[in-house]
Structure 1
Amino acid sequence: MNTYFHEVVKYHPAGYKDRIYTYDDWTSISDIGKTFRTGILSADDYIKVEDSYVNTILTVMSETDCHYLMMEYVEAYEEEIIKRMKEHKQRYNIPVLDFIPNLKKGKRVSQNKAAVLFRLCLRELCYIKFSCKSKKLKIEFGYDYYLYIKCPIGKERLNQIVSENHLYLDPRG
């Protein structure tokens, strides 16, 4: 089966016009407390969406029988991460994560530790590309809360996983 990169987003497909998202919506943890077309983004609302992304990835890992991911590429500065996590706790009342695994290119991480790293990436505290070469799985996070997944799961099943987590697959076509 072929593998392709698929975009996964929180943005409703109706908001796209000519492949550009036109609705007023939040794109970052730093938007907590700001007003958008659906109201003020609360920390709880942010966490719900973050959970949806993490659950989507963990489900894809389970479906592909991937127990570990390799950190293929890492941009992270531990002191900066710790400082900004404390700021998130103070400013947004977002819980500080229990631990920060050693962020090093080539390191393997289990599903549980990977979930923490996904949150760090979604919170824009680091940038990591993940892969599981034996399962043909790649995971990357992009700007504006975009997630890119490359996997051997068929598009129909992947869309089902994404939809179950209240997200959207490939909204731009």
Structure 2
Amino acid sequence: MHKYRITKYNPLFRDAEGRFTREDWTSISDIGKVFDNQELTIEMYKKAEDSYIKAVHLIMDLLNLPHLHARNIIKSFPDDQFLALINDNIELYPKDMLHYYFSTVNNTGKITYEDVSKHCRLQLREDLGSALFYPRKCKLFIGYDYLMSVHSHIQLDPIFQSIQNLGLFVEEF
């Protein structure tokens, strides 16, 4: 398997142990806070999130994956608390995403190409957790702090530049 880290964090600013040394936003809850003398706006947040989603679709396209599988889907919040928690950024949660969140009750499932964006957005926002994969081809890990890694049965080199054009960094490990 070929293993990659794909993030918004420039590897030039990692220390010897691989830790990012600059102060940067790491969560949807950081909207409105100031980083590097600039306030994180909803628009800036959405642009970064869109980049991650486009990168996932680039990977799926390269690997010719019609869908992904999810295992161990866990909601971070009880349904009755979820709406109150997202109220400050409700414009980032259109009706179709809310429907997807509330209907995600299975512990496993097949996620269509179209629903991958909703699922991954909810993972980036730390609203859902799950293991994403396609048997014998790909494992996709989305964790806290806007960290994403990919294990692939083939090299992702053909899409490195496209991912970098989205403002993300690809690191092999």
Answer whether TM exceeds 0.5 for this pair: yes
Alignment of structure 1 residues 35-114 onto 2, 5 Å: 35-76=34-75, 79-80=78-79, 83-85=81-83, 87-88=85-86, 90-97=87-94, 98=96, 99-100=99-100, 101-114=103-116
- Superposition deviation, residue 79 in structure 1: 4.1
Instruction: Letter of the 1:35 partner, please give it.
Output: V
Give the equivalent residue in structure 1 for 2:29.
30
Query: Which consecutive unaligned segments of at least 5 residues does structure 2 have?
Result: none
Q: Give the stretch that moved more between structures: 23-32 or 103-112.
A: 103-112
SS of 1:74's partner is strand
Aligned residue in 2 for 1:140: 141
Of the three residues 126, 129, 132, the one matched with 1:130 is: 132
Matched with 1:12 is 10
Gaps of 5+ in 1: none
Count of matched residue positions in the alignment of Structure 1 and Structure 2 = 167
Residue 36 of structure 1 and its aligned partner are, at CA, apart by 0.6
2:147 counterpart of 1:150: no
Kept after mapping to 1: 8 A contact 2:133/2:139: yes
Change (3 A) 1:38 1:85: farther
Q: TM-score, normalised by structure 2?
A: 0.86
CA RMSD of aligned residues (A): 2.1
- Secondary structure (helix, strand or coil) at the match of 2:26 reads coil
Q: Distance in 2 between matches of 1:132 and 1:51?
A: 22
TM-score, scaled to structure 1: 0.86
Q: Distance in 2 between matches of 1:76 and 1:93?
A: 18
Q: Distance in 1 between matches of 2:127 and 2:147?
A: 15
Q: One-letter code of the match for 1:113?
A: D
Percent identical = 23
Residue 77 of structure 1 and its aligned partner are, at CA, apart by 5.9
Using a 3 Å threshold, how does the CA distance of structure 1 residues 50 and 114 change in structure 2: closer, same or farther? same
